[in-house]
Chains A and B, each alone.
Chain A
């Protein structure tokens, strides 16, 4: 028979079997009460679905407002001072274009005209559009997500690319359909898909045609789009452009993207979606906290027994943390699966729920943190538990 000292050494040293035993036991206890297991998991799923879906919708809405900047193909934008959105209504002199073209390091400088106007419908009435005029030779700021037609056809007189999702609103547009914009006849040369910002859908045309349709003077433009020569230092080129275009602002594509996102988040969009997401997480936190606490209360005698037979507070803490992490990972997996399913189901030209990779990685991490925090109440109860209760 082992001596007392040998036994104590074995009990002190047997951490791996004890660790294994407590992890397995934690999962067994979690799965044993099936109603509580399902309820708690659904709580986490609910929080993940609501939170991730809200963030996905927010990302989709933000993308609607940054898509022109993201897809125009420019490295640098020359914009009117304090511009926070790439939207219609901005006017600057074409002298900026000349200055940009003459700047060392600039490969291409291309004008962009962006004007809000309307399409006259065959049956009467008008439908608003955001007309974008671009330089066909550079292609910068031209249509993308083209689902019908060839952008080269925009060289033909009166040719425009319309948004496919808006065909019915423009009176049943088809390739070759003729409509009236600004008192002039235009025809449909192609369609894009999903190019609908917060305002009216983007419609693309050759820059001079757009000037003719909207009355923008030939020495006016909305933005100058700049690409850099290979190897050029973007910061140095931007600094030189700033020096040469003192009445305008020079901003990199990434900075312009961030500025648009920042301005939208500072306004209503961020507050609305931030509040909903926070509530989703709070509700998930409460459900998990209550479920875990009630699971501990229901199994108080078992936890007391485990303490009495030699488990330490650390062992029991490990058990609850294992359960928290299991709930978080399982709930995140199911929740993200549902969000992906929903995102696919509700995807349209008007709204795309975007579930980016960082969200997929961050969701289990956030939920794990949340569930571990939610177990604190249960942990406190277990740690205070007197092992002597088993004899009462």
Chain B
């Protein structure tokens, strides 16, 4: 492996995400399908990593395991030193609530709640109550440029606006880790870049660690580090590393 490739794979500083030897097998017997094969994946605190690869390579499976919504068949995973293996569903929910902000491919906002209430909900789930939750939600919506649309339902917003609400929701209460799954998939090139840039800016302002699963090479320039995954394994891809001038030292 070249030095550049090593650099592309290794984080610097204390670890936010530490996955070692992670495997995931779906199904059993003849129908078994191995999605991940002994993956080692580390992300330093404050780092922004893009996880790239072709469809079916295992990147979303890895993101799901890091997001505590899927358990690994084998291997060790910890977030900020908190191990994920052998813990109850309730504890996993607690870890998700406390540590992780999610940005989903399809925004996944609550259709019956306004933009403000979608963001406020996340504050409240993180234990922030009343006026503080509302003020925090309003500030975040202002920051993503949707202050004047805070009472709109998701169905009354454009795709880009919905994704910006989703980013505000993910950052509500400033979780230390944001996991984003193809956040630009449903957006045009311009909106996709804008939304990702917004996510990157807000995360860096708050020192949040970000892992983005994407195959959208138009946003690669926003990453500190790009990790490629193929056939369930991390592969060295120095050519995918962003330019050093665009990277961000954690």
Contacts and interface: CB of A to CB of B under 8 A. Distances in A.
A308 B124 contact: no
Interface string B215-238: 000000000000000000000000
Given A11-B97, A308-B67, A391 B104 contact: yes
Interface string B11-22: 000000000000
Interface in A1-58: 1-2, 4, 7-8, 10-14, 16-18, 20-21, 24-25, 28-29, 31-32
A10 B97 CA distance: 10
Nearest to B169: A309
B93 A312 contact: yes
A190 B181 CA distance: 87
Nearest to A310: B97
B124 A14 contact: yes
A304 to B, nearest CB: 8
Nearest to A314: B90
Interface stretch (A82-90, A168-176, A177-185, A382-390): A382-390
A34 B104 CA distance: 27
A11 B104 contact: no
Contacts of B169: 309
Interface in B90-145: 90, 93-100, 102, 104-106, 108, 110-113, 117, 120-130, 133
A7 to B, nearest CB: 4
Given A1-B207, A388-B69, A10 B104 contact: no
B197 interface: no
A305 B104 contact: yes
Contacts of B175: 7
Contact of B125 (A4, A31, A32, A310): A310
Interface residues of A, number: 39
B125 A14 contact: yes
Contact of B98 (A1, A7, A387): A7
B174 interface: yes
A313 interface: yes
Contacts of B129: 14, 16-17, 20
A390 B102 contact: yes
Interface string A287-322: 000000000000101100111111111000000000
A173 B128 CA distance: 78
Chain A interface mostly helix, strand, loop or mixed? helix
A383 to B, nearest CB: 10
Contacts of B124: 14, 17-18, 20-21
Given A31-B112, A305-B108, A25 B69 contact: no
A4 B60 contact: no
Interface string A112-125: 00000000000000
B63 to A, nearest CB: 7
A28 to B, nearest CB: 4
A23 to B, nearest CB: 11
A29 B122 CA distance: 16
Contacts of B123: 17
Contact of B126 (A14, A387, A392): A14
Contacts of A307: 69, 93
Contacts of B106: 301
Contact of A391 (B69, B100, B133): B69
Contact of B81 (A1, A4, A301, A302): A4
Find the residue from A2, A11, A24, A309 having the highest chain B CB count within 10 A: A309
B2 to A, nearest CB: 32
Nearest to A31: B112
Nearest to A3: B80
Nearest to A7: B98
Contacts of A21: 120-121, 124-125
A12 B94 CA distance: 7
B89 interface: yes
A305 B123 CA distance: 15
B201 interface: no
B127 A14 contact: yes
B140 to A, nearest CB: 15
B25 interface: no
Interface in A261-295: none
18 contacts: A1-B206, A7-B176, A10-B127, A11-B126, A14-B125, A14-B129, A17-B124, A17-B127, A21-B125, A25-B121, A29-B112, A305-B104, A308-B67, A310-B100, A311-B125, A313-B89, A387-B69, A392-B60
Interface of A: 1-2, 4, 7-8, 10-14, 16-18, 20-21, 24-25, 28-29, 31-32, 299, 301-302, 305-313, 386-388, 390-392
The 9 closest A-B pairs by CB, nearest first: A14-B127, A310-B97, A32-B112, A11-B98, A21-B124, A17-B129, A17-B124, A388-B69, A387-B69
